[in-house]
Amino acid sequence: MPQSLVLPALLLSLGFGAAGYFVSQTMFNATVGINTAEVKGLAERRVSADRAYWTVFYTVSGNSRDAIAELYEQSKKDQARIVTLLKDSGFDSQEIRPGVVNYNRLEFRNNNQELVDEKFELNGSIEVETDKVQLVAQARAKLNELIALGIDIQNPQPAYHFTGLNSIKPEMLKEATTNARLAANEFAANAGVEVGGIRSARQGGFVIRDVGESYSDTGKIEKDVRVVTTISFYLTD
C-alpha cells in the first residue's frame, strides 16, 4: 500500500455474547509508513450487589417539656423493638448499629410571634450494614408492622453496592481486547490488509450502573458493569 495514501474509515461493529456485547470504532491511518487501525472494544457484565447500607429513623414526640424523660423511655422501647425485628429478619448484632438519640424542640407562633404551642421530639436512627442483600427488602416490608402499632418510622431506600469489581476486571479486559481485535479483523478484511500486533492500548474506567438507569449506581441490586478499551493495531499488506 503506498505510503502517501491516507484512508480514513469508520467501522461500527456490534457483537453479542453470553456476557454482553461490544461496540468498536475503527480508524485506519497511514503515517510515516506505519499503517494502524484504532479500535474501541467494549465488555459488559450483569452483577448483583453484595453489600447493602440501610438506615432506619424513628421519632417520639410530645407537647410537654416535663414529659421528655417519658419520651426518652419510649424512644428506648421503640429502638429495642426495631432491633428485635431486624434480628428476627436474619441480621446479626454486628450488622446492626443503633445511633445516638437527638433532641429537637419546635415552636409554633401566631402572626404576632407569640408562642402558642411547643413540640418536643427525640429522633433516633439504626444503621444496618450487611452482605445479606436479599434480606433488606424483606425487613423493610416487616417494618410496616411496627408502623401499624404506632411507631413513627422513616424507612428510606437502602444503598446497594457491588464490591467485587477486582475479581471480574481481568476477564472483562480480556474480553474487551478480544472484541476490539475482532472488529479490527473485520475492517482489515474489507480493506484488503491484515491485523498485526498491538501498537498502543488505553483502558477506560470501569463504570457500574443500576440496570436500566443512566446515572444511579446504588438504587438497585442488579447492576451492569462496563469497560471500554481503545487499542491501536498495526496493519500489514
Over the stretch 38-84, which tens digit does the pLDDT of each residue have? 899 999 999 999 999 999 999 999 987 778 889 999 999 999 999 99
Mean pLDDT of 99-105: 92
**Lowest-pLDDT choice from 110-119, 127-136, 170-179:** 110-119
Q: Which residue is it, cell 433488606?
A: 136
The residue among 167, 170, 190 whose CA lies nearest residue 178 is 170
pLDDT value at position 99?
Answer: 95
pLDDT value at position 22?
Answer: 39
Cell of 173: 479486559
How many CB atoms lie under 10 A from the CB of residue 30?
16
Alpha helices in 6-132 (DSSP H): 68-88
pLDDT beyond 50 at 230: yes
Those residues whose C-beta lies under 8 Å from the C-beta of residue 143, and which sit 6 or more positions away, are: 56, 82, 85, 153, 155
Cell of 115: 408562642
pLDDT value at position 29?
Answer: 52
Highest mean pLDDT among 30-44, 121-135, 195-209: 121-135
pLDDT beyond 80 at 218: yes
- Percentage above 90 pLDDT, the chain: 67
pLDDT value at position 121?
Answer: 94
Q: Which tens digits make up the pLDDT trace of 79-94?
A: 999 999 999 999 999 9
The DSSP call for residue 18 is: S
Contact 212, 226 (CB under 8 A): no
pLDDT value at position 109?
Answer: 80
**DSSP 3-state assignment of 30?**
strand
What is the residue type of 74?
Answer: Q
pLDDT value at position 33?
Answer: 52
Cell of 66: 416535663
pLDDT value at position 67?
Answer: 83
Residue 17: pLDDT band with limits 50, 70, 90: very low
**DSSP 3-state assignment of 93?**
helix
pLDDT beyond 70 at 27: no
- How far is the C-alpha of 54 from the C-alpha of 96, rounded, in Å? 10
Domains of the chain: 12-48+163-236 (3.30.110.170), 51-161 (3.30.70)
Report the half-sphere exposure of 10 (CA within 13 A, side-chain side).
Answer: 0
pLDDT value at position 24?
Answer: 40
Mean pLDDT of 22-28: 43
